[in-house]
Structure 1
Amino acid sequence: MTRPSIRHAVLTGAPGAGKSTLLEAAGSAGLATSPEVARQILSAPGGMALREEDPHGFAEAMLDAHAHEFERAHKLGGPVVFDRGFPDVAGFLDVSGLSIPKAVDDACRQLRYAGPILRAPAWAAIYVQDAQRIQNWEEAVASDKAVTAAWRRYGYDPVDLPLVPVEQRLSFLKERLG
């Protein structure tokens, strides 16, 4: 098992639960960040069609993008806050009722995050759908359960972010990074 020498924090959990907002605040506070790769893929031409027509292909694209971001983090030389990680790909496949390819399983087992895994629980008060966040509320809750279960299956212990304003969530994140 590969243990990185730098600390990571990974934001995971429900769609629309404030992960991207917290990531933006972390970046503004001077922390190195890694964006949600799924949103980048979905925003690219053909991205939504890939997700709908070839979910395994979409998962493979996410896996490749996460691997790129993971390697980039090693070059930054300090803590990096990721918006989702390898087990989120497994969770996407789980909630979609699809098998987990060996490459995804291997990445989850071998490319390990060293730091807190912070779960943004489903939060109805802030949830909104948008062009890439196509899940309804019930699907968002199911996605949260699936990705949280995937993180646990791969040996992580996600800690819930409090349901508080972003400034307080940022303080919580910074405390966990040390």
Structure 2
Amino acid sequence: MPWRDKVAFSELMLSWELRSWHLAVDSKHPYFFDRRIPDIAGYLTTCDIPIPKHIEKAISLFRYARTVFIAPPWKGIFVQDAERKQSYRESVKTFDAMVECYNRYKYELIELPRTRVEERAEFILSSLDDRI
């Protein structure tokens, strides 16, 4: 559980993201990742834990497509429940940390609009038309 040992949780995240990256790296088709290795740095930042050198190195070695779609906090749909332990305020802090981290690692962020799921999917696909 992430709240019991945040450093161990970040290491598990790293191993999972490295696995996902290796599975997708040679594909001729676009891949969508829910999380990436820089998210680990964002997570550690929100926990006030220094980012270890090996995670910094992994971020620089295992690059993704430059474009990152990011979903902003949206109070209108936010629900805290058994699966989502974060408060809305914490989700804003996490978003801010992710924006800072992705900018630091030279990714281009595209914020998703606060619209219906179908419209967000269309936004993503139309944004990719110029990049594929």
TM-score scaled by length of structure 1: 0.69
Select the residue among 75, 98, 114 that pairs with 1:163.
Answer: 114
Q: Which of 27, 37, 42 matches 1:86?
A: 37
Q: Report how many aligned residue pairs link the two structures.
A: 129
Tell me the residue number matched to 1:63. 14
Percent sequence identity over aligned pairs: 36
| Whole-Å separation in 1 of the counterparts to 2:17 and 2:50 | 19
Shift of 1:156: 1.1
TM-score (norm 2): 0.92
Instruction: Name the CA distance, whole Å, in 1 between partners of 2:117 and 2:7.
Output: 33
Note the residue ranges of structure 2 that are not aligned, 5 or more in a row. none
Structure 2 residue 26 is matched with structure 1 residue 103: no
Report SS of the residue matched to 1:97. Answer: coil
How far is the alpha carbon of 1:132 from its aligned partner? 3.3
Deviations 1:70-113 (A, max 9, x none): 11112543100110211110000001000111121111112111
Higher relative contact order (CA 8 A, sep 6+): 1
- Contact 2:66–2:108 at 8 Å: present in 1 too? no
Classify the secondary structure of the residue corresponding to 2:69.
strand
Specify which of 54, 59, 74 is matched with residue 25 of structure 2: 74
Distance 1:175 1:165 in 2: 15
Partner of 2:86 in structure 1?
Answer: 135
